[in-house]
Structure 1
Amino acid sequence: MRILIVRTSSLGDLVHMLPAMSDIARHVPGARIDWVVEESFAEIPSWHPSVENVIKVAHRRWRKAWWSSQVRDERKALRERLRDTRYDVVLDMQALLKSAWLVRQAHGVKHGLDWKSAREPLASLFYDVRHKVEFWQQAVVRQRELAGLAFGYTPSGAPDFGLQRFARVAGVEAEAYSEYAVIMPSASRADKLWPERDWQAVFGRLVEAGCCLRLLAGNEEEATRARHLISDFETAEVVPRMDLTAIARLLAGARLMVGLDSGLTHLSAALGRPTIGIYRASTPVRTPLVGDSYTASLGDRGAPPSREVVLAAVGQALAA
């Protein structure tokens, strides 16, 4: 069965998709899965052993020059690529107008969420088959349920993210860095940030436990902030900017991770590492950390966790 999955972004949402791919592979004999994804996140679908082809889209880049000759050529190439294969099922797992636009260009029976379930209800008008999935459910559960409805099975068991390949390289990273903790203290929005003194209390607890600190930063501004946070800690460094696969390898070898609510924090949990997520501008109700090791999704929108709560979770993660 030829299957086209459409889910283009974002990093955390794509990580939450992976268990649904494992379910499809387990329940649909001979499933051959292609996945349409934003170019900057194309590594993520490629990690899953059941995804055969990754088809890149560049909405984020195209929006800056939609009618330029280069963008028109790239959109034409994508359209021809989508029409080149006849799929048995085309499944939109994003339910936005931008994903429905991609779905309509592909050949095959088009599945997606119904009017009441879709984030953008108008997207449901572009599907041949519509499915009801309760919106309040956790993201991983919601995606697994949608895939099950599309292919006629009931998901069961713990989520399998299909990231076992990284467990095999975890030992290499651990040897390279000794015992270390990965920290993600930065975010694109100021309302997500956690107080500096609270971070430094966490750093002190980790150093006492024998952990070196490896801080992630997505740009120079975040790197500058990270360097300021660790200025009093000798066994700490800001990791140079890396691609997603290199970051996944780093996370896979960590003793634990502590991070703001970000895609990389969710990736750490999916990799089976003890992970603590700090929520301040978002809620963990629908997007908690999910993994097969210790996880703690702390705080909520407008109610960040206290230093004491996070330190207690760090103690539990270290024990795990």
Structure 2
Amino acid sequence: MIKKSKKCKKILVVKPSSLGDIVHSLPFLNSLKTCFPKAEIHWVIAKGLEGLLECHPMVDRLIIINKDIWKKLSRMTDTIKEVRQLLKDIRSERYDLAVDLQGLFRSGVITLATRAPVRIGFSEAREGSRFFYNVKVKGGKDVHAVQRYMKIAGALGCDTEEILFPFPLCRSEMKNMEDIRSCIKEYAVIVPGARWDTKIWDAGNFGRLASFLPIQSVVIGGKADMAIAEKVVQASSGKALSLAGKTGLKELIEVMRHARLVISNDSGPMHIAAGFQVPVVAIFGPTSPVRTGPYGAGNIVIQSDAACAPCFKKKCGDMRCMTGISVEMVYEKMRNISCGLRKTDL
């Protein structure tokens, strides 16, 4: 454990992505702010995900990076200029502590650029990023991401017993949510999309499941999920409506905050729901619920008996881990979930 310094006035957290991973790091943020209540906390986040931390009372500054552009060779000149300015900006802040929760080469370089007296990250961090830290913590592999991040909080001398997900409250999005709730009093949320094709359960299955529920279902997702969301609606027998492509991250948080139940693939929105302790029914195939399942009690993870899972493949010609999960299997297990619905309703 590092001896806690009372002079820690400015802290940088490097955790650009992804949506679910940033949600998993919120308990770390809560623990860090409780441990260093007077410190400024800055956060490096990827462009497109800043809505998750905007308006957050525990974060004093967001440093937004356009990391997807950095990967394009055609934008190399612009990338070099942007990175140089970023590193210069970070050095000028004179951080006392830099925390790399991402554990990749890019995040390691950003952490090193702070020149902070304490630069902490995971000992098993990838792409050589661990060589940029002067304090290393063993996170482990078969441990949930929330607990893994909290190990760094513990190494900093912070309390790790209480796990809280402090989501921000943005008043404008709360007003928009009130307009939605005036039309739909109670609803379940269906999340049919995912970043990997291998994590996607058939849209028709989600729709059939929605048709069995005693309350209306709202289908959410980004613009890329609009087509799959419409397939869910078409298979729902009039029991679902789509908000895919119509909500930003702030609005998505409010949708999840008031949901009665969430049915989802392994996805970022699933973790937002779990953070609010909304009961989650999670469909898992190629990924491990031990590492990235919905955190907390009262959730149900449904998997097939495919021997090859979890394989962590983003592409696969044999999707038995997902096709082996039937609507009937999910429906039967949903009967046992504590979601405030009457048992006779499911």
1:307 corresponding residue in structure 2:
327
Query: Which stretch shifts more, 226-235 or 63-72?
Result: 63-72
Q: Which residue of 2 aligns with 1:132?
A: 138
> Residues 179 and 121 (structure 1 numbering): CA distance in 2 closer, same or farther, change over 3 Å?
same
Q: Is the contact between residue 281 and residue 334 of structure 2 (CA under 8 Å) also seen in structure 1?
A: yes
Residue 71 (structure 1) shift: 3.0
After superposition, the CA RMSD in angstroms is 2.5
Distance 1:53 1:43 in 2: 13
2:223 to 205, 214, 219: 219
TM-score (norm 2): 0.81
The aligned runs of 1:1-320 (5 Å cut-off) are 1-46=9-54, 48-65=56-73, 68-115=76-123, 117-118=124-125, 120=126, 122-149=128-155, 151-157=156-162, 159-163=163-167, 165=169, 169=174, 172=178, 173-206=180-213, 209=214, 211-220=215-224, 222-232=225-235, 233-241=237-245, 242-291=247-296, 294-299=298-303, 301=310, 303-304=321-322, 305-315=325-335, 316-319=337-340
Q: Deviations over 1:227-276 (max 9, x none)?
A: 12322522422214121111111111222111100011111111232221
SS at match of 1:87: coil
Q: 1:53 to 1:187 in 2, by over 3 A?
A: same
Asked if the contact 1:92/1:103 (under 8 Å) is kept, the reply is yes
Once the two structures are overlaid, the 10-residue window that deviates more, 223-232 or 166-175, is 166-175
1:89 Cα deviation after fit: 0.5
Q: Residues 268 and 82 (structure 1 numbering): CA distance in 2 closer, same or farther, change over 3 Å?
A: same
Q: TM-score with structure 1 length normalisation? A: 0.87
Query: Offset at 1:190?
Result: 3.2
Give, in whole Å, the separation in 1 of the partners of 2:34 and 2:61: 18
Cα distance in 1 between the residues matched to 2:103 and 2:280: 29
- What is the identity percentage for the equivalent residue pairs of Structure 1 and Structure 2? 25
Give the conservation status (yes or no) of the 8 Å contact 1:166–1:271: no
Partner of 2:314: none
Distance 1:94 1:12, change over 3 A: same
Using the TM superposition, give the Cα deviation of residue 148 of structure 1 relative to its aligned residue in structure 2, in angstroms.
Answer: 2.0
For this pair of structures, how many residues does the alignment match?
311
Answer 1 or 2: which has greater helix percent: 1
Contact 2:266 2:282 (8 Å CA) reproduced:
yes
* 2:234 partner letter: S
Q: How far apart are residue 113 of structure 1 and its match?
A: 3.4
Aligned equivalents of 2:82, 2:138: Cα separation in 1: 34
Per-residue CA deviation, residues 107-136 of structure 1 (Å, 9 max, x unaligned), is 312433354x32x16211111222223332
Distance 1:181 1:268 in 2: 11
User: Does the 8 A contact of 2:31 with 2:158 survive in 1?
Assistant: no
Deviation at 1:161, TM superposition (A): 0.9
* Pair 195,317 (structure 1): closer, same or farther in 2 beyond 3 Å: farther
- CA pair 245-251 structure 1, distance change in 2 beyond 3 A: same
Is the 1:113–1:133 Cα contact (8 Å) retained in structure 2?
A: no
Is contact 1:174-1:180 (8 Å) kept? no
Between the aligned partners of 1:90 and 1:80, the Cα distance in structure 2 is 15
Unaligned 5+ residue runs, structure 2? Answer: 1-8, 304-308, 311-319, 342-346
Distance 1:166 1:265, change over 3 A: farther
> Is this contact kept in 2: 1:90–1:111, CA < 8 A?
yes
Q: Secondary structure at the match of 1:142?
A: helix
Amino acid in the other structure paired with 2:184: Y
Matched AA of 1:297? V
For 2:107 and 2:97, the matched residues in 1 are separated by 15
Q: In the aligned structure 2, how far is the partner of 1:47 from the partner of 1:310?
A: 37
Contact 1:103 1:110 in 2 (8 A): no
SS of corresponding position for 1:46: coil
| Corresponding residue SS for 1:86 | coil
Structure 1 residue runs without a partner (length 5+): none
